[in-house]
Amino acid sequence: MRDPTAQKLPPYSLNELMVLTVQHLYVAYTVAVEDIPGEVFIEKVLEPLPGLDRTGSDQPLEILLQYATDEVKAKGNDAIARAPVSPILLSATYYFRAGRARDNNQTDAAWSYLAEARYWCGIAMAGKGLESALQQAAGGLKRDMAAAGAKGRSGKYQPLRDLAFDFARNSAPPGGWRSRNHAVQSVEPTVRDLATTLGIELSTENVDKTIHGWLSSMPDATQLFSKGK
């Protein structure tokens, strides 16, 4: 079930929409749960999820139970469903699943997971309780569950990597990039802007080297930067 507001959005690319989703989740978390810096949100809230998401379940409550401590579980499933953080965790789960599918070139699965991430992000942004959404999900949420074989990358810099990758693939000038360095210098201001938004510190002296390393690791780097060294 897609976010009903999605039709009003510009035609974002997959990676652009993933970045936007992280930004929205951060805003929702600061309003509904705790006002913390963006870097702390990524490190403490988002980063642990990929390692805990092991069931592959498509049931919202089963997903949430993966992350619940014994103390939280003792309060009962209703308390878990009503918790303000629950739709944020569900959205983030599908965000990371979308990233794994994307990295395995499973584009359809990536978009399917991201649609679910946007749906739960919409629930979180609206500040709604989870009970009615869970009822809807139990009856109608269907998705492509093609699992990615490789372990997805996580960490506080992942949204910045996603942005750099998307820029390199979709914003090349006519005739392509002259070199990898050309792409690095072009994307660096945009990466800095997103880092500022999320409160992620980037070394002024080494940011170009960091982005260069990210672009070098792209599966299609040879094709994108064939003219460079």
What does each C-alpha distance from 151 to 33, 35, 75, 99 come to in angstroms?
A: 29, 30, 32, 10
pTM of this structure? 0.56
* CA–CA dist 148, 150 (Å, integer): 6
Chunked into runs of 10 residues, the chain (229 residues) has average pLDDT values of 42 80 87 86 89 85 90 88 91 93 89 89 68 43 27 58 82 85 88 77 81 84 69
Please tell me whether residue 30 adopts helix, strand or coil conformation: helix
**For residue 191, what are its two tokens?**
């990466």
What does each C-alpha distance from 16 to 106, 160, 167 come to in angstroms?
A: 17, 10, 9
Let me know: does 15 contact 168? Beta carbons within 8 Å.
no
Specify the pLDDT at position 146.
Answer: 26
Let me know: does 98 contact 146? Beta carbons within 8 Å.
no
CB atoms within 10 A of CB 40: 12
Q: Which are the contacts of 29, defined by CB distance < 8 A and separation ≥ 6?
A: 36, 41, 45, 85, 88, 124
- The CA R_g of the chain, rounded to the nearest whole Å, is 18
* Residue located via tokens 């993933």: 18
* CA–CA dist 229, 214 (Å, integer): 15
